[in-house]
Amino acid sequence: MTIFVTGGAGYIGTHVILELLEQGYAVVAADNFVNSKPSAVARIKQHSGIDFSFYEMDIRDSGRLNEIFTAHCIDCVVHLAGLKAVGESVEQPLGYYANNLDSTISLLSAMRAHEINKIVFSSSATVYSGNNEMPLTEESRIGDCINPYGWTKFMCEQILTDCARIGDGCAVALLRYFNPIGAHESGLFGEDPRDTPNNLMPFIAQTAMGKFSHLNIYGGDYETPDGTGIRDYIHVVDLALGHVAAIHYLCKHPGVSTFNLGTGRGVSVLELVTAFEQSTGISISKKIIARRPGDLAICVADVEKAKRELSWESKKSLHDACTDTWRWQSTNPNGYDS
C-alpha cells in the first residue's frame, strides 16, 4: 500500500513516516518546510535505509498534487500539513484559515479527481467545547473553539464529513490528538520548535538545556489536586502507531470515523515536571504565574473507542517520553540543524 503523507517533515509527520516504513508501507511525502527542515527528511531516509519520493511543495498547489497523484498510485492519504501555533492563529487568523482550510480543500479535490478515497486527518482535542464533562468521548460536544486554530480543525472535520457523504466508498478517520510529547528513541527525531516553545514539554527540555532560566507555570489555583492544569500527554511514537491502525481500519470501514488519540490518564504540570526531573536527574526551576487565557483546568481523553475499534492503545510511559525527549534535546541542541 502506498501512503501520501502531507506535512511529512514535521514533528508528527516524521514519526508517522518512520512507523509506516518500518511496517513495509510505501511512502510518498510532501511539505513546504514552513515549520520544518529538509534535514528531517534526509534523516528519515538515512535512519530507515529506505528511499521514498518527497516533494517540497505547498499542499494548496493543486497542479502539483495532480502531478503527484498521476505519478504515484496512492491508496491512502495522511493529512498532517497545517499551521498549529495557537497564539499565532489569534494574531493571523486569515493566514491560518487560508492555509489549513485551502490545503484540505485542494487535497480533497485532487483525491476525488484521482479516485483516492481514504484519508486520515490530524484533528485535535481543541475541537471539543470547553464545558464538557471529563474524560472527553468522541460524542462530547464540539465547537465553541477558543481560537482560530481550533476552528480550522473544526471546519476541516466538517469539510471532510461533507465530502465523505458524496463520495462512494469514501473512508475518513478524524484523529483527535491530545498532547503529543516525546521523541523517537533513536534520539534522531523530535520536536524542533522554530522560536520560543509554546508547549510545555519542549519548554521544560529547553529550560533543562539552560536556554531559559525557569519554567513559568500558568496557574496554580485550578480545581485540580495540585492546583496546576491537567492534560493527557501521549508519546509521539504511540500517536504515530495510531495512524497506522487508522489506515488498517479505513480499509474495512467506509464513512467517517472519529477517534481520540490519548492515554486516558491525566497528568498535571507539576507531575510532568517531576517526571522529567526524575527521568533525567536535572532539576527545573519554576515559578507559578497567572493562568494563560483560554486554558482549561483539565483535558483528558476517553480512549475506549480507539482501543475497541482500532485495537490500538498507548504503550509508552511518561518516563519513556521524558527520557526520549531529553535524549533528542541534549544530543540535538539546535534541533535538526545540529
Per CB under 6 A, residues contacting ligand UDP are: 179, 198-200, 203, 215-218, 229, 231, 269, 292, 295, 299
* Strand partners for 172: 119, 256
Phi/psi at 269 (nearest 5 deg)? -60, -45
Provide, rounded to whole angstroms, the least separation between the CB of residue 19 and ligand NAD: 14
282 touches which of ligand NAD, ligand UDP, none (CB within 5 to 8 A by kind)? none
20/333 Cα distance (integer angstroms): 27
Looking at beta carbons only, is 41 or 234 nearer to ligand UDP?
Answer: 234
Tell me, letter by letter, the H, E, C secondary structure of 49-87. Answer: CCCCEEEECCCCCHHHHHHHHHHCCCCEEEECCCCCCHH
Report the relative pairing of strands 230-231 and 171-177 from DSSP bridges. Answer: unpaired
Distance of CA 41 to the CA centre of its chain: 17
Binding residue for ligand NAD (CB under 6 A) from 45, 48, 50, 58?
Answer: 58
Q: Determine if 59 is a binding residue for ligand NAD (CB under 6 A).
A: yes
Looking at residues 276 to 305 of the shown chain, list those that interact with ligand NAD (rule: CB under 6 A): none
How many chain residues are in contact with ligand NAD, going by CB under 6 A? 26
Report the relative pairing of strands 2-6 and 76-79 from DSSP bridges. Answer: parallel
Looking at beta carbons only, is 157 or 313 nearer to ligand NAD?
Answer: 157
What distances in angstroms separate CA 138 from CA 177, 258, 300, 335, one per listed residue?
A: 12, 7, 12, 35
- H/E stretch holding 164: helix 148-166
241/263 Cα distance (integer angstroms): 13
- 33-41, 104-112, 162-170, 301-309 -> range binding ligand NAD (CB under 6 A): 33-41
Name the catalytic one among 11, 96, 149, 222: 149
Binding residue for ligand NAD (CB under 6 A) from 13, 135, 190, 220?
Answer: 13
33 touches which of ligand NAD, ligand UDP, none (CB within 5 to 8 A by kind)? ligand NAD
Looking at beta carbons only, is 58 or 185 nearer to ligand NAD?
Answer: 58
Helices 38-48 and 11-22 cross at an angle (nearest 10°) of 20
Phi/psi at 81 (nearest 5 deg)? -65, 130
80 touches which of ligand UDP, ligand NAD, none (CB within 5 to 8 A by kind)? ligand NAD
Catalytic annotation present for 96: no
150 touches which of ligand UDP, ligand NAD, none (CB within 5 to 8 A by kind)? none
Which residue of this chain has its Cβ atom nearest to ligand NAD in the complex?
A: 10
55/32 Cα distance (integer angstroms): 8
Binding mask 119-138 for ligand NAD (x = CB under 6 A): ---x-x--------------
Residues taking part in catalysis:
149
- Residues near ligand NAD (CB under 6 A): 7, 9-13, 31-36, 58-60, 80-84, 99, 103, 122, 124, 177, 180
